Each structure stands twice: as structure tokens, then as C-alpha cells.
Structure 1
Amino acid sequence: MNTKFIIILSVFFSLTLFKVNGQGYKIDVTINGLKDTTLILGHYFNKKMLVNDTIMVNHEGKGSFTGEEPLPGGVYIIYMPDQKYFDIFIDDEQHFSISTQKTEPILNLTVKGNKQELAFNEYQKYLNKQQQKAVALQNNIKEKAQSQKDSVEIWKNQLNELTEEINGYWNNILTKYKGTFLANFIRGIKEINVPDFNENKSLPDSVIRWKRYEYYKDHYFDNIDMQDDRMLRTPYFTNKLETFFTKTVFQIPDSIVKEANRVIEMAGDNKEMEKYLIQYTFNTVNDSKVMGMDAAMVALAERYYLSGYADWVDEEFLTKLEERVTKLKPNLIGNKAPDLKLLSPNNEYYKLNEVYAKLTILVFWEPDCGHCKKEIPKIKEEIWDKYGDQGVKIFAVFTQHEKDKWTEFIEEHQLEEWINVWDPYNQSNFRDLYDIYSTPVIFVLDENKNIIGKRIGTDQLPGFIEYHLKKK
């Protein structure tokens, strides 16, 4: 089974708490239609809801969330037993009351004692109305595009006007509540405006597209205050990060590392934000299925964890991470493949670095592995039979010790033309050099024995080989 080192973002993520007149929090809640049941107060974090408090409401739907320590600012959730919920805004004013109905809680909400929550709720109500108008216009455009062509342009203009109106509403909040978390929250929702870059009409479309992409990537976080850790407790922050690192930045280790370092630096002196960004970017590359992304994991591990910068990590974690990095570094894409001197079934030694080939398929396998029983014959049929006469060779390493099973499999599947080798005396250290903890594992080496592909599935292997042969 393939093992992978993972840092789990703790649900007990340490938070810098602040005092509000030394009085903690007290949120009086009335929800008409509920009685004698539980309410949960939680907050958004890392695409999850983390629970802060739980209370019982009485037969009138009344109850109070209270605590001696103030809550860290953010968007919070009041969660009802029937899985209905609504969001509230919590920042500097933490002694307030809200009242609403069980049905349509946002539209029926009233607030006393919390200016930002009141403005946030008014924003939610306003947005709900505008969305209803937008949906009606979009349905008209879709359903009556043929029968009422003259009206379509009118409806499109009305949609544009609606968008401008919403932008105006947002701008009013930014002005009225400048310097507050509410303003930061609303600004963070807005997409950045990307210039057209078409002033020079002679520029090719490809150049314009590249300039727009570069601008979008470089300014992606312009509207988000990355030094405000309250943004961590919003429903969209982690989604924005995910979109940036998995869909915006090219999935190349060097590009990911460069952008990860840049984003982490945006946290400035805010240690809570910095800590989250370090953990998030590390986990993202560590969990990535993109070939070669382990190079990004090694780079981030060495810069932030193994350097001692991440001083919140315990020694046990660091020891395991260092061991993992040590095993990964020799076999990163772009590195010279570690040499192997191994025995054939006829007790002849073969060295990997002495194999002359345009491309060398290095495969680690065993005949008792169920997956190998399917994949090794596919490599024979789809790689060796097709490309064996085009400068492709296969260096197949048997990872176990039952020689008879190995040689029987070779004979049964006609693999005699491969370079079949094993390590009966455990002298080569191939498991550590190539990080072999499961089988089959496939590497592709170029003519200089540099690693150009690793842990490739047999389905992707033919296309990969074809591409590199044509490239040569």
C-alpha cells in the first residue's frame, strides 16, 4: 500500500482571541417556530463548519449563546435541528440579539446591538431580491429568445444594469464601513477587473490572452486582505485559495512553489494567517495527483518546516517529514536516476546507468501483486511490442525473493527480452532510492538517465512514450 505523509489542518486551529471590554460574548436568539430543541453556533473554517457553542432553546424558541472569551471575528452559522441554517456576522460587537422565523430565517431576521451584522443581513436581503430579478430575466432570455427577439436585448441590458446596481451597493458598503471586517468581506467577494490589453491592435490574440492571464494571476488576491485572519472564517476564502492553486497556476512544481511563497508572504505579520497558508499550500502539493508535484512538497517542507521556521510543529512530525523528504529527493523529476547494480535470473549483473536507450522504462513489480498481474502484461503489449525497436528498453526490478514465481511469470508472459533483475541480498537500497512501498511503480528515464516521468499509470504510459520519442 502506498504511504503518503500528510499534515492535517487541526479543527483546533489556534486562534488569537481578543477582548471586548473583558465581557466575552452573549448572543440572545429567538427563532419563532422552534421549541425545546438544540441550536448550534459554529463558524466557517477550511470549507467546514467548526462548532463553538450549543444551547437549548425554550418553548418560545429563546436561548442565549454565552462565553467568557470573545469569539474571533468571522462569519458564523446558526444551525437548526432540521439542517436549516443561516449566517451571522461577528466582530467587535459581541453582545447583541437576533430574532427570526424558522422558515426563511434570513429574510425575517431582525438585529439589535450589532451594526455589522445588521448591515450584513440587509445585504443578504438585498442580494436575494436582486437574484430573483436576475433569474427572471435569464429565464426570459433563454425561453423567449426566438419568439421575442426584440425583447432579448432589453432584458440583457436590464441584466447589465442589475449588475451595476449590485456593484454600486457593494461600493456603498465599502465606503460606509471602511476599515471594518464587513468591508474586507464584501471586497473579497468582488472579482478583479482585468485590462483588455488590446490598445495595440497589432498584438496577436495569443499575446493578449497571455497578458490577461498573467495580470489575473498576479492580481488574483488584490481584493482580499491577506493580513486579516478573520478572512479564514468566511465561506469563500479557502475556495479562493483552491481555485488559485489548482486551476489558475500552471501545475508545474516550480510555478506552484513560486506562487506559494508569494502568497504566504502576503500574510505579513499576521501569524495566524501565515500559519494557515503554510499548512494549506503544503497540504495542497502533498495531496496533488499531478506527476512530479512531490518536488514542490520537498521545496516547501525544507523552506518552512525543516528550516525550523514553522515553530508550532512538534519534533515527531519533523522527524517523519525529514525521513520522507530524504527518500523523495533522489528520485525527483529532473534528477539523475540513482544507479542500480542488480542480478539477472542467470546471475549476471546489470547496471541501470549502462543501459543504452533513448528511453528506459524502469518498473518495480512482483508476480503476487494483483495489480502487477494486470499491468505488467499491458506494458509488454502496449510499450515493448510497439516501441521496443525504437530505442525503448525496459529495466524490470523484481522486488521480492521467491525466484521461482518470478521466473515463471517472465516465461509465461514472454518477458525474456526485458532486462529482468532483482536484489536477492538487499545490497542496492532500491526501496529507499526510489521510494518503493507498493507495486507496480513506473519511472521513465531519458537517454542520459535523467528522470522525466515517475509513478505513471500504464494507461498514460503509451502517450507519454509517444510524445517523448517524437520530441527527440
Structure 2
Amino acid sequence: MKYCFTWMALLALSVSALAQPAGKTTKPKPKTAGTVAPNAGSSGRNIAITLTPLKNCKVYLGSYMGTGRTLVDSAVLNEKSQGVFKGDKKLTGGIYFVVSPQMTIQFEVLMDNIQQFSIVGDTSLKDQAVIRGSLDNELFKTYTGFSVEKGQLIQQLSNAYKTASNKTDSSRLLEALNKADKELQDYRKNIIEQHPNSLLAMLFNSMKRPEIPTVPVVNGKPDSAYPYRFVKNHFWDDVLFSDDRLLRTPFFEPKLDDYFRYYVSPEPDSIIEEVKYILLSARTGKEIYPYLLTKFTNKYMNPEFMGQDKVFVYLFENFYAKGDTMILNPASRKTVVERAYSLMANQLGKPAPVLNLTDTTGKTSSLYSINADFTVVAFWDPNCGHCKEEMPRLDSFYQHKWKGMKVAVYGVNIYENEVPAWKKFITEKKLEGWIHAYQTKAAKDAEEKAGQPNYRQLYDIFKTPTLYLLDKDKRIIAKQLSLEQFDDLIATKTKKK
């Protein structure tokens, strides 16, 4: 059996989006992949490899891991270029590849439940590797031959279609193009139907995308949202999130990313529903569950859009706080826990944490004593270069627009030992009309002694300046936006009011 394959290249052969397919179906010959084989019950792995002309060196077996790659085993080749990938435990099924001593991929291999087979290859003939004793690889060999043949035909027809000079030729070429594409798609479908337990069937199911349906007409009007709903509802058909083999493919994680990018609302509650479903579905997966939990944690711990950190808080409260911190090393566990406690108190829609700080005259100034339709809370450092640029800009918005819109500004110097520099900056830049306050060292020490959380944690201040926008009841409307974005938001809410 001779073949070399690149999964993305084979997947790219499909052009089904061009038009409604038509034509005969070419069915694959029946095989027995996925059924019980004589050595299916063998424990561990024993994969003999001959890779000429390499001698007396180490070669590696690697696999995909989400969007990355990882090495999982090694074998030492002898004088005859022979070696064995051997171990007491079976490898997780998926797409693997042989790697040279120079860390270049030679060719790919399907790793199914039967891990007692042989590989013969040559570094100068990567497309002619021979695999014996693996029924899934035999099945894929047949598919590869068919798909390459159809792929070449599809490419030829596609090029001709693009340069067609008249409608007659265009129609003829489009019909032939759709026929060839349908034959390729049907070939895959037949493999899934005839060999449902095969690794190849799982791979095809996990990488397929729903075809966009025709827009139906409801009460005389086209239902333009129907294709979106249809694709979203069928995006994960026949995919089992608890299947660890999904991670050992190059297409599962990109498909997952596309799903959240194009079919899930960026509103945090919508994201939470999707994340909850996926994680609970993946719970029994030994590898994929912790991988997905970590992926979602990293994505929403410092999210792309304001308010999406609510997803991270949800993950902490419903997964990590209930025991899943065991999947983390001590350093990561500390990071997750501290970040969660920093975000819990400042979620959008929640009351802002209490601030009773000392103003420039030495008197206590309370955030909640401010009577205004909106309050901008600005945490800043008088020695921070960016703060020195942003605070005068903030004051410009306040003096020229916000003050007339019943907006108050509560500015907080986050360093109690920088009071002179703080007061000097306020005076020089004429930051007038604000409430300027800071926490004294005595107040900070008393807070720590009492075991109370500091406002730096409550307001998640890990950079300066850090800005919040509160409504008249001191509930958090927005945070971590630019001054221009705050200005637009205040204007919009003022108009609505």
C-alpha cells in the first residue's frame, strides 16, 4: 500500500457550495475497517518502522493536538533502518505522523484501535510509504486514490469554468463540476454508512460542515435567517465531544473556533450556554475535557470583548470551584483562583464595590455619596506615562461634554506614597470638578489586618489607567473601554433616557 496524504488538501477538494449537485454516485468497495480484527484486543502498541536511508538514529512519532503538534514516541533505527514504536499503552486514536531526526514530517498515519502494524518508507519518496496490518489505513488508501483522481478532475473543471466564454459552456462545466463533487461527497458518506465504527468515519464526521440550504418562503416572504439557524443546529451533527480522538486532528479546533466566531452571539449569556453544553458533553473525555476547559478559560479570562469575562467567572464557579482545579498545576491554579476573585466583584450590571477613600483635603469621600446620572471611576498613577496622557484627555471630555450631562468623575490615586506627585499633577493640569481620592497607608494596613479584600482586587486593577462607568445607582455599565467609547456610550444612554 503506497500513499501520502495531507488532510487539509483532501478536505479542500470539495466545491459543493457552487450549486445543487447532480449525477451518479460512485460507491467505495466494501471493507471491514472498524470491525473486530484478530489482534484488536492486543494491549499496548508495537509499530515496526523501516525508514531508509536513515541508520543508527532516532525517529519520532508525532500527533496533532488541537491547533498544535506534539511528539508522543520515538524509535531508534538500526543498521538496516529498522526500529519499533513500542509501549505498554495504546495511543489515543487520530492522525499521527513520522518525524525525521531533523524534525521534519515524513508522512501521516491513521492510528486506530489496532496498533500492531508496520510502516515502510523512504525520506526521498514520502508519497510512497507502505502501511501493512491496519484496516483503517487500508480503507483510507482506497479513499485517497479516489479523492486524488476526483480532485484533479474538479480542479480542471473549475479552471475551465472560470474562463468559459459563453453560457452554454458555463452550464455544461458547472454540471460536470457538481457531478464530480457529488461523487466525492457521496464516497465519504458511503464510508460513514458502511464503516460507522471506523476511525475514518469519525474523521469525516468531525470535519464536515452543514451545506447551506435554500431560503424558504414563509407567508410570502423569504426567511433569510433560516440558513443561519439550520447550519447552527446541525453544525455538530454526529460529533461526540467526549471523543479524545478529536484532539488528534488538525480540523476540530478550527471548526470549534469558527462556530463561536460565526454562530454564537458575543453576548456572554449566549456563550455560557454553548460552553456549558460542550463541557458537560465532553466530561467523560480523559484528554479532551481538560483541554476544552483550559481553552475556554484562557479565552475568557482576558476576553476580546467587554463583559465576556462573565464566562470565565461562570467557569470558575461551576467547574473549578467544584473540584476541577485538580487538572491545573499549582501556578495555574493560583492564577485562575486569583483572577476569578478579581472579576467576581466587578461584573457588568452588578453594584460597584464600595470606595470610602481620603480626598486631597484629608476628608473621607464616598463613591456612593455622589449624586449623578453617571459616574466615571478612574484609577491612575501620577507617575504612569500613559496616565499622564489619558487623565487630561478624560478631563477634556468631562469639562466640555460630560459635566453638562450630569456625569461625575471619581479619580483614585492607587499609590499612597505618591501623594505629593499626585497633588502636583492635579494642580498643574487643572483637573477641576473631580473628586480626587486615595487610600492612606493606615487604612490599607487596617484593611489587610481585618482580612478584607483591597479595592485593587475588587476593581481588577492590574494596569493603569483602569476606568469604569457607573449608572446613577452605582451599577457597572462598562469597563476597560477607551475614552471615545465611554463618550459614545454616555451619549447613547443619555438620548435613550
TM-score of the superposed pair, with normalisation by structure 2: 0.81
Q: Sequence identity of aligned pairs in percent?
A: 30
Check conservation: 1:384, 1:393, Cα contact below 8 A: no
Check conservation: 1:192, 1:223, Cα contact below 8 A: no
Matched, 1:251 2:272: no
Give the letter for the 1:216 counterpart: V
Rounded Cα–Cα distance in structure 2 between residues aligned with 1:375 and 1:124: 60
Unaligned runs of 5+ in 2: 1-38, 448-453
| Equivalent residue, structure 2, for 1:417 | 433
| Equivalent residue, structure 1, for 2:209 | 191
| Equivalent residue, structure 1, for 2:157 | 137
Q: Report the Cα offset of residue 89 of structure 1.
A: 0.5
Moved more, 56-65 or 286-295: 56-65
Rounded Cα–Cα distance in structure 1 between residues aligned with 2:281 and 2:51: 41
Matched, 1:172 2:190: yes
Give the letter for the 2:276 counterpart: N
TM-score of the superposed pair, with normalisation by structure 1: 0.85
| Equivalent residue, structure 2, for 1:3 | none
| Equivalent residue, structure 2, for 1:233 | 248
Q: Report the Cα offset of residue 418 of structure 1.
A: 2.0
Residues 19-418 of structure 1: pairs in structure 2 closer than 5 A: 21-32=41-52, 34=54, 37-57=57-77, 61-80=81-100, 81=102, 83-103=104-124, 105-106=126-127, 108-142=128-162, 144=163, 147-193=165-211, 195-196=213-214, 198-203=216-221, 205=223, 208-209=224-225, 211-267=226-282, 269-308=284-323, 312-313=327-328, 321-382=336-397, 384-401=399-416, 402-418=418-434
Rounded Cα–Cα distance in structure 2 between residues aligned with 1:459 and 1:40: 54
Rounded Cα–Cα distance in structure 1 between residues aligned with 2:129 and 2:166: 40
| Equivalent residue, structure 2, for 1:16 | none
Rounded Cα–Cα distance in structure 1 between residues aligned with 2:288 and 2:465: 40
Q: Please state whether the residue corresponding to 1:460 is helix, strand or coil.
A: helix
Check conservation: 1:88, 1:121, Cα contact below 8 A: no
| Change in CA separation of 1:105 and 1:131 when aligned onto 2, cut-off 3 Å | same
| Equivalent residue, structure 1, for 2:463 | 438
Rounded Cα–Cα distance in structure 2 between residues aligned with 1:258 and 1:37: 51
| Change in CA separation of 1:310 and 1:416 when aligned onto 2, cut-off 3 Å | closer
Rounded Cα–Cα distance in structure 2 between residues aligned with 1:161 and 1:35: 48
Give the letter for the 2:235 counterpart: Y
Q: Deviations over 1:2-40 (max 9, x none)?
A: xxxxxxxxxxxxxxxxx9644522223334565565422
Q: Report the Cα offset of residue 148 of structure 1.
A: 4.8
Give the letter for the 2:146 counterpart: Y
Q: Report the Cα offset of residue 332 of structure 1.
A: 0.8
| Equivalent residue, structure 1, for 2:21 | none
Give the letter for the 1:249 counterpart: V
Unaligned runs of 5+ in 1: 1-18
Rounded Cα–Cα distance in structure 1 between residues aligned with 2:328 and 2:103: 39
Moved more, 79-88 or 332-341: 79-88
Check conservation: 1:74, 1:233, Cα contact below 8 A: yes
Rounded Cα–Cα distance in structure 2 between residues aligned with 1:413 and 1:158: 73
Rounded Cα–Cα distance in structure 2 between residues aligned with 1:292 and 1:343: 30
Give the letter for the 2:427 counterpart: E
Rounded Cα–Cα distance in structure 2 between residues aligned with 1:134 and 1:33: 36
| Change in CA separation of 1:440 and 1:170 when aligned onto 2, cut-off 3 Å | same
| Equivalent residue, structure 2, for 1:449 | 474
Give the letter for the 1:30 counterpart: T
Give the letter for the 1:250 counterpart: S
Rounded Cα–Cα distance in structure 2 between residues aligned with 1:204 and 1:342: 59
Q: Report the Cα offset of residue 52 of structure 1.
A: 1.4
Give the letter for the 1:235 counterpart: P
Q: Deviations over 1:287-312 (max 9, x none)?
A: 42221222111111111111225654
Q: Please state whether the residue corresponding to 1:266 is helix, strand or coil.
A: helix
Q: Report the Cα offset of residue 324 of structure 1.
A: 3.4
